[in-house]
Structure 1
């Protein structure tokens, strides 16, 4: 067997982590064709096929899966050893990769990231905004941002923002054609803008008052996969929208949107930064965690 370098194995690991040539190419700053060529050379030197590839999918072969399981911990140890050198630096250095939902990134994460980057100019941060639940370990992220109740038990988490709430809003013109809801069941009589999760399921609007909890399956002419896209059609009178209050509070104050069912929309615990508990925390993530804690203490 011809010699195999650490660089060759790094290419294999990146493709195996993402199961995507395009994403691995971006991570490694290579073109997809160069990445594919490097993998073919590696497979020829090893004498085995590591991936089954079609025009639509990439999957590890049995040999590739075994190689991935064996060398991934070793490369992680190398990354941790290199990260240890950060203790000899005055300020953190490196790249931090964070996965977050789109609304979480816009409302809470990015404002914090911008302040952190100003304080630590030697750090770079990559934020992937995706509403699908992401396994931060298998996809190569250092941390993620999600609502606390959606986190796995083996994750360490800390609050990253204030308590939040969602509100129901509609354009004044909408209520010239439809009755204004007085309780959640009245939503069945008004067109609503629905939200479909990446999993394919439709979100049931959640309400609570005096200990009573309700989930309402709404209907309407428009379904969207991004909560942030709901504000514009709500302004045009397409239907009621159920969105984060911070997205629309100025529009409510200006009278462009009318808020309904206010007493059924309580505050709930906000977003959390989370990261794996079973590995060493990189120095740049440690700095971001401390920065987040300090930001919460100072308000």
Structure 2
């Protein structure tokens, strides 16, 4: 790892963000030992310890916290200047860091593939996690989430269809339990509960004719990942509350049955979002345009082929 100039400062900020040399090294595509030596060399040169290290944790020292506070804004300004200069290239290049959820990443993957095929000088670093973060503070260029979760000060580019949640159970489960007709009926059912990334329990949301209801159902199983909830529902362990995208194949094949459909209205779909306070790099602008094109293409009606009797 080069140990001079911006590389050292980027190294300090990466370790400060992750509180981990291993995670920071992964982000910077360097070895952990190289990163550690670079930080140690900088500390030796300025005569101050920036990080307190133990075998189990890494934390900023008082001097390190002040150093990061002073350096971060300046480095952001330098990055923006480099980005603006690079935007004059005919072909976008560099790396885009995007934060999203696992489910959203699966849905947007066709666009990511098309983007890399169109712009071979670009790289995508996609980080999937359930928790919602401040993409600017965490060092991401953009995020992809449901529109309703995006902060108001972000620029949002809608992508894909509106989405709905679905309450589903297996045929074997409904052979033993009468299907619920209203959300209140869920009190007599076993629900596969969902734990949010922050630790809270997700309440199932319903609405019909202006009436909104939140339900925290009872059940023997609590999970934090949609794929596991889907497997549990297929096994007949209870009812699951998942997006239509997650359960579409099972509903089509009959391995799961949907209930309370009239209580789950559509929600705004996914969007790409990014800060409007910083200059958007050429690569991000190119990805934004591709997402807009993809969304427009999905909205256009498909021309029906003429049949012999139509001629």
Aligning the two structures, in what range does the TM-score lie when normalised by the shorter sequence? Answer: over 0.9
Residue 307 of structure 2: aligned partner: none
Q: Partners in 2 of 1:218 and 1:193 — Cα distance?
A: 8
1:92 aligns with 2:92: yes
Residue of structure 1 in register with 2:159 after alignment: 160
Range 270-279 or range 160-169, more displaced? 270-279
CA deviations on 1:213-247 (whole Å, 9 max, x unpaired) are 10001111211111232111111101111111122
SS at match of 1:135: coil
State yes or no: 1:54 paired with 2:59: no
Q: 1:55-87 deviations in whole A, cap 9, x for unaligned?
A: 343222221122212222332233223223434
Alpha-carbon distance, 1:96 to partner: 0.7
Give unpaired runs (5+ residues) of structure 1. none
Which residue number in structure 2 is paired with residue 193 of structure 1?
192
Deviations 1:8-34 (A, max 9, x none): 223212212332211210122222222
What is the number of equivalent residue pairs in this alignment? Answer: 296
Deviation sequence 1:133-172 (CA, Å, 0-9, x none) = 1121121110111222222232221212210001011100
SS in 2 for 1:83: helix
Secondary structure of 2:34 counterpart: helix
TM-score between both structures, scaled by the size of structure 1: 0.93
Q: Would you say the 8 A contact 2:116–2:123 is kept in 1?
A: yes
Query: Deviation digits for residues 160-208 of structure 1, max 9, x if unmatched?
Result: 2210001011100001211211111111111111110111101110011
Matches of 1:297 and 1:249, distance apart in 2:
23
Offset at residue 48 of structure 1 (A): 0.9
- In the TM superposition, what whole-angstrom CA distance separates every residue of 1:232-277 from its partner, at most 9, and x where no partner exists? 1111101111111122222212211111111111111111211112
CA–CA distance in structure 2, aligned partners of residues 60 and 277 of structure 1? 30
Q: Assess if the C-alpha contact under 8 Å between 2:98 and 2:140 holds in 1.
A: yes
* Deviation for aligned residue 1:40: 1.7
Q: What is the root-mean-square deviation in Å for CA atoms of aligned residues? A: 1.7
Partner-residue secondary structure (3-state), 2:125: strand
Match of 2:146 in 1: 147
Distance 1:80 1:23, change over 3 A: same
Q: 1:156, 1:277 within 8 Å by CA — same for their partners in 2?
A: yes
**SS at the partner of 2:258?**
strand
SS in 1 for 2:36: helix
Match of 2:26 in 1: 26
- Greater mean deviation of Cα atoms: 237-246 or 33-42: 33-42
